[in-house]
Structure 1
Amino acid sequence: MNVLSNDEVRVDAIYKYTNSIELIEQGERAVVEQIAMQLYENKIFTFSQARRLLNYSLWEFQQLLGENQIVRHYDKDDLAEDIEAVKSGWWDSENHW
C-alpha cells in the first residue's frame, strides 16, 4: 500500500481545491454567457448590452453567437447606442468596442 506523506497530502488537497475553483468559475461564466445570449436573442438586451454584460469584445461576442447559432439582429436602437458610445468616448482600444 502506498502511503502519502503529509506534504503530498497537502499538495493533493490544494490541487483538488484549485481545480474545483476553476470548474466553478467556468460554470459561472457559462451561465452568464447563456443569460446574455438569451437576453439578446429575445431582444431584451441590445448587442452592446449583452456583450458588455460579459465584458466581451465585439468579436468575442460575435463568435459566441455564431458558435451557438444565435441570429444577429441590429436595429436603429443598436445604432443609436453605438453612436452614443463613440461620442462618449466609451469606445477605445481598451474597451474593445
Structure 2
Amino acid sequence: MSIIISDEVLQTTQMSEAELLTEIAVLLFQKEKFTLGQASRFAKMNQLQFQRLLASRQIPLHYDINELREDIKSLEANNWR
C-alpha cells in the first residue's frame, strides 16, 4: 500500500515529507503499533538515530522478545553475522 501526501497537506502542516513521516513513526511507536525497527525504517532513519529522537522527546523504549527476534532476522538478512 502506498500513501500519497499532497502538497496541500504539507503546506497546511508546514512540514516536509520527512518531518511528517517521522511524526507518524513516533506516534505509531508510542501507540505500540510499530516496533522500533519498523518505526525507524518508516522514518527513514537508522535505529540509533530514531532512539536518539525518542530520547530527546523523553519517549521510553518498549522492546520485547518479538522485537529482538525481528532485529535478529533483519541483521541476518543483511549479513550482519
TM bucket (normalised to shorter chain) is: 0.7 to 0.9
- Which protein has the bigger helix share? 1
Residue 56 (structure 2) pairs with residue 67 (structure 1)? yes
> What number of residue pairs does the alignment pair up?
69
**TM-score normalised according to structure 1 size:** 0.62
Structure 1's unaligned 5+ residue stretches are 1-22, 92-97
**Cα RMSD for the two superposed structures:** 2.2
Q: 1:31 to 1:68 in 2, by over 3 A?
A: same
Q: Distance in 2 between matches of 1:84 and 1:58?
A: 15
Tell me the equivalent position of 1:54.
43
Tell me the equivalent position of 1:80.
69
- Report % sequence identity: 34
The superposition leaves residues 65-93 of structure 1 with CA deviations (integer Å, 9 ceiling, x where unpaired) of 011111111001110101111221265xx
- Runs of 4+ in structure 1 off by over 4 angstroms are 23-26
Q: Distance in 2 between matches of 1:28 and 1:87?
A: 30
**TM-score normalised according to structure 2 size:** 0.72
Which one-letter code corresponds to 1:77 in the other structure?
N
Structure 2's unaligned 5+ residue stretches are 1-9
SS of equivalent to 1:32: helix
1:1-97 to structure 2, matched below 5 A, reads: 27-89=16-78
